[in-house]
Amino acid sequence: QVQLQQSGPGLVKPSQTLSLTCSISGDSVSSHSVAWNWIRQSPSRGLEWLGRTFYRSRWYNDYAGSVKSRVTINADTSKNQFSLQLKSVTPEDTAIYYCARTFGYIDYWGQGALVTVSS
């Protein structure tokens, strides 16, 4: 059974960097058949995919066009984790952030973390 446990601050100031980590149990971040994603949900934007990282003999990343200039997703194989960094945040980035696994489809989700951008 795959479990994803998210961690990170719930409050970030405008213009700063939002950082979240997702710890994986029951699978490996460097598994060849899956990808590791970040998705957010807000009343104004609904569910929005932010990007993914995956390993296929080397690491690959894909990012959503809406955040491509501000987002970085990295994997840490020593801790079996992956992380999200979103820089230069504004109140529009206030949302519930989820980490999730894809195995052809999004099958496992983290518990979600509300991140508020406010001074």
Partner 1 sequence: QSVLTQPPSASGTPGQRVTISCSGSSSSIGSNSANWYQQVPGTAPKLLMYNNNQRPSGVPDRFSGSKSGTSASLAISGLQSEDEADYYCASWDGSLNGWVFGGGTKLTVL
Contact status, residue 107 vs residue 101, Cβ threshold 8 Å: yes
Dihedral sign (CA 102, 61, 47, 3): positive
- Binding of residue 21 to partner 1 (CB under 8 A): no
Least CB distance to partner 1 at residue 51 (A)? 8
Q: Where are the beta strands (DSSP E) in the chain?
A: 3-7, 11-12, 18-25, 35-42, 46-55, 59-63, 71-76, 81-86, 95-102, 106-109, 113-117
Least CB distance to partner 1 at residue 117 (A)? 21
Give the CB-side neighbour count of residue 77, counting CA atoms within 13 A: 6
Q: Which of residues 40-99 bind partner 1 (CB under 8 A)?
A: 46-49, 51, 62-65, 98
Strand partners, 22: 6, 82
| Residue number with CB closer to partner 1 (64 or 72) | 64
Quote the distance between the C-alpha of residue 92 and its chain's center: 17
- Binding of residue 10 to partner 1 (CB under 8 A): no
| Residue number with CB closer to partner 1 (29 or 35) | 35
Stretch in the footprint of partner 1 (CB under 8 A) among 25-33, 71-79, 85-93, 103-111: 103-111
| Residue number with CB closer to partner 1 (78 or 105) | 105
| Binding interface with partner 1 (CB under 8 A) | 37, 39, 46-49, 51, 62-65, 98, 102, 104-112
